Chain A
Amino acid sequence: MKKHYAAIIRELSWGDFKLKYYGSVFGLLWSFLKPVIMLSILYVVFYSFLKITIEHYAWYLLIGIIFWNFFADATKDSIQNMYAKAHILKNTNTPPIVVMVSSIVHSLFTFLITLVAFFAIISMFGFAPSNALFFFPCIVLLAVLLTFAVSLIIVPLSVRFKDFEHMWDIFLQMLFWVTPIVYQHYAVPAAYVKWYLLNPLARIIIDARTVILAGAFPETKQILITIGIVLFLCAAAVFIFKRSDKSLVEQL
C-alpha cells in the first residue's frame, strides 16, 4: 500500500514538473529567472537607492529569496494542486495527503535545482565552502518540513473557505516583510525581536546565511528552538489535517 502511494507521488510530481516546462521557450531557465529578477529589483532599491549596508548583499538577498520563493510558491501550489487533482481525488481512493506530498515534492525539485545553480554561481565568484556547509541539508530539510506543515494547515482551510486563497496571498505579502529577506533581523527593535524570531521561516533563513556566508555552524540552542518550532507545527498540522481528511474530498 505504501509503495503504491510512493509511486503515485513520483508520477504526479514528475508529471507536473514536465508539464511546467513543456512547450515553453526558456524551459527550466524560468526557475532561475524568477529569483534573478527579484534579486535585481530588490538589490537596486535597497542597495543603490536606500544604501543598505550588509556585507555580500547580493548573496545575502539571494539566499533569502530562494528560501522565500520555495515557501511561498510551494504553499500556493499546494492549494491550487488540490483543485487541479480534484478529478483524481473524487474518482479514485487516492488519499488527499498523497496529492499534497506530490505537490511539495514538485516544488522541491525547483528549489533544489535553484540551490545547485546558486552554489555553482557563488563558486564562480570565489566562494570557499567551509565544513559548516555539511549542516546545510538539515536547514533545507527544516524548510521542507515547515512548508509541508503549513500546507497541511492551509489546504483544508482553502477548500472549506473559497476566499482563503486571497487571504493567504495577503498573508504572504506581510510575511515577506516580517522575514529578514532584504534586511537583517538586528534592525528589528529589541522589544520585538523575541516575537519576531518565533517566525520559523526567519530562523531558517538566518541559519542558512550563517552556514553559507559566515561559514559557521548555527548556535546549538537556536537551531534546537528552530527544530522545536517546526516539529510542533508538523504535529499540529497532522492533527488538523487528519480531522478534515474525510470531508476534504467531498468539499472539493
Chain B
Amino acid sequence: MNEKRPNMNPEIAIRAEHVSKVYKIPHERRVTLFETLAGYVMRKVSYETFFALEDVSFSIAKGEAIGLIGKNGSGKTTLLKILSGMIPPTSGSFAMRGKVAPFLSLGVGFHHELTAEENLYLYGAILGIPRRDITRRMSDILRFADVERFRNMKLKNFSSGMVSRLAFALMIETDSDILLLDEIFAVGDKDFIPQSFAVLEAYKKAGKTIVLASHNLALIESYCHKTMLLSEGKLEAFGNTKDVIARYVAH
C-alpha cells in the first residue's frame, strides 16, 4: 500500500480518511477499439460520475468486530476491496495495522476440475499458506470441513455447502490480524453456520479485528461490537450495533 498513511495510534487497526471511489461511466460505453477511435475523432466523450464510496472516514480499534450493512450497491464490497488493497481509492487515504487476510469471500480460486486436496494446495497458495503447512494440516482441514472421505474427489461433484465448508476450513488456517469478510455465510447450512460462527467467536476472543459485511442482521447483531451502515456510498451511521440496525430497518 503506497497510499499516504494517516497517523495512527497503536490501538487503531483500520483508519480511513475521506475515502472516495469514483467510477466514470461513459454514456455509451466504448469497449471496442473502433468505438474508441471513433469517439476520439468525434469528441463526444460524456461521462457520468458515480460515487461508489463518498468521503468515508472512520477508525476501527484493534480487536473490534464490526458489522457492515447496507442495501445492495451501497458500497460494502467496494469498501472491503479498497481496505484489502485490491483496488485503489480515487481519493482519500487509509491505513491498516497488522497483517490483512488476502481475501474477501470464500472459495476464490477453487477449480471444479481439481480434487479437494489439489484445491487446498492451490487455494492455500493464494491465501499465502506454505505448501508444507497444508500437507501437515491436511487431515485436520478435511475433518473440520467434514469431507474426509472425498479428499480425492473432484470439486465439481461436491455440493455447494461442502465447497464452502472446505473453503472456510482452509480460511481459518491463515494467520491474519485483520479479516475483511464479505457475505461468507450466504451458502452455509444450519450445521455449518454455528460451526463457523464458533470459529469467528474464537477469533474475536483472540483479539483479531474483523469487518463482516452481511445481510444477515441477526448474525451481525449477535456478533458485532459496532456496525457501519452504508447508504449510496456514504457512511450513514457508525456506532452501537442495535441502534444502527434499527436505523437500517426503519428505512
State whether the Cβ of B188 lies closer than 8 Å to any Cβ in chain A.
no
- Which chain B residues border A250 with CB–CB below 8 Å? 87
In the bound complex, residues from chain A placing their C-beta under 8 Å from that of B113 are: 19, 22-23
Question: Are B109 and A88 within 8 A (Cβ)?
Answer: yes
Whether the Cβ atoms of A164 and B33 lie closer than 8 Å is: yes
A163 touches B122 (CB 8 A): no
Contact of B32 (CB < 8 Å), options: A11, A12, A94, A161: A161
Question: Which residue of chain B lies nearest to A22 when distances are taken between CB atoms in the complex?
Answer: B113
Q: Size band of the B side of the interface?
A: 20 to 34
Stretch at the interface among B124-132, B142-150, B215-223, B243-251: B124-132
A1-16 CB mask vs B (1 if < 8 Å, else 0) is 0001001101110010
CA distance A250 to B88 in the complex (A): 10
How many A residues touch the partner, as a band?
A: 20 to 34
Which residues of B115-135 are within 8 A (CB) of A?
118, 121-122, 124-128, 130-131
Given A90-B86, A164-B33, A249-B86, decide whether A7 and B108 contact each other with a Cβ distance below 8 A. Answer: no
Nearest chain B CB to A110 CB, angstrom units: 18
Q: Which residues of chain B have C-beta atoms less than 8 A from A90's C-beta?
A: 86
Contacts known (A22-B113, A92-B109, A163-B33); A249 close to B126, Cβ less than 8 A: no
- The yes or no answer to A246 lying at the interface (CB within 8 A) is yes
List residues of chain B with CB within 8 A of the CB of A22: 113
| Nearest chain A residue, comparing its CB with the CB of B32 | A163
Residues B114 and A167 in contact, CB atoms below 8 Å apart: no
The distance from the CB of B128 to the nearest CB of chain A, in whole angstroms, is 5
Binary interface profile of B, 222-243, with partner A (CB < 8 Å = 1, else 0)? 0000000000000000000000
User: In this complex, what residue of B is CB-closest to A12?
Assistant: B122
- Check: B57 CB closer than 8 A to any chain A CB: no
Other-chain residue from A7, A163, A249 in contact with B87 (beta carbon distance below 8 A) = A249
Contacts of A163 in B (CB 8 A): 32-34
Q: Tell me if A53 is interfacial: C-beta within 8 Å of chain B.
A: no
Q: Does B157 contact A (CB under 8 A)?
A: no
| Contacting residues, chain A, for B36 (C-beta < 8 A) | 161
- Map CB proximity to A onto B25-36 as digits: 1 under 8 Å, 0 otherwise: 000000111101
* Contact across chains for B103 and A11 when beta carbons are under 8 A apart: no
Chain A residue numbers with a CB within 8 Å of B33 are 161, 163-164, 167
Main secondary structure of the interface of B (DSSP, over half): loop
- Asked, given contacts A8-B125, A88-B109, whether A93 binds B32 with beta carbons under 8 Å apart, the answer is no
Task: Provide the bound-state CA to CA distance between A87 and B32, in Å.
Answer: 23
Q: How far is the CA of A201 from the CA of B108 in the complex (A)?
A: 37
A94-B102, A162-B31, A162-B32 as given contacts; A11 in contact with B122, CB under 8 Å? yes
Question: Given contacts A10-B125, A246-B88, are A92 and B111 in contact (CB under 8 A)?
Answer: no
Nearest to A164 among chain B residues (CB) is B33
A163 nearest CB neighbor, chain B only: B32
B108 with A92: CB separation less than 8 A: yes
Do B111 and A94 touch across chains, with their CB atoms under 8 A apart?
Answer: no
Question: For the complex, what is the distance from the CA of A23 to the CA of B108, rounded to whole Å?
Answer: 24
A164→B113 CA distance, assembly (Å): 29
Tell me the smallest distance from the CB of A149 to a CB of chain B, in Å. Answer: 21
The reply to whether A7 and B102 form a contact with Cβ atoms under 8 Å apart is: no
CB distance from A233 to the nearest CB of B (A): 22
Task: Report chain A residues within 8 Å CB of B131.
Answer: 7
Asked whether A92 and B31 contact (CB < 8 A) given A22-B113, A249-B86, the answer is no
Q: Which of A86-124 contact B (CB under 8 A)?
A: 87-88, 90-94
How near does chain B come to A212, taking the closest CB pair, in angstroms? 37
Min CB distance A173 to B, Å, is: 18
> Among A8, A10, A11, which residue has the most Cβ atoms of chain B within 10 A?
A11
Query: How distant is B94 from chain A, measured CB to nearest CB, in Å?
Result: 14
Contact of A92 among B86, B88, B124, B130 (CB under 8 A): B86
The answer to whether B118 touches A91, judged by C-beta atoms less than 8 angstroms apart, is no
Known: A11-B122, A161-B31, A162-B32. A93 touches B84 (CB 8 A): yes
A18, B125: Cβ atoms closer than 8 Å:
no
**Which residues from chain A contact B104 at a C-beta distance below 8 Å?**
91-92
A sample of 12 more A-B contacts (CB under 8 A), given A92-B104, A92-B109, is A11-B126, A15-B122, A22-B113, A87-B108, A88-B109, A90-B86, A91-B105, A92-B103, A92-B127, A93-B85, A161-B33, A163-B33
Between-chain CB contacts (< 8 Å), 21 pairs: A7-B130, A11-B121, A15-B114, A15-B118, A19-B111, A19-B114, A87-B108, A87-B109, A88-B108, A88-B109, A91-B108, A92-B108, A93-B85, A93-B86, A161-B32, A161-B36, A162-B32, A163-B32, A163-B33, A246-B88, A249-B86
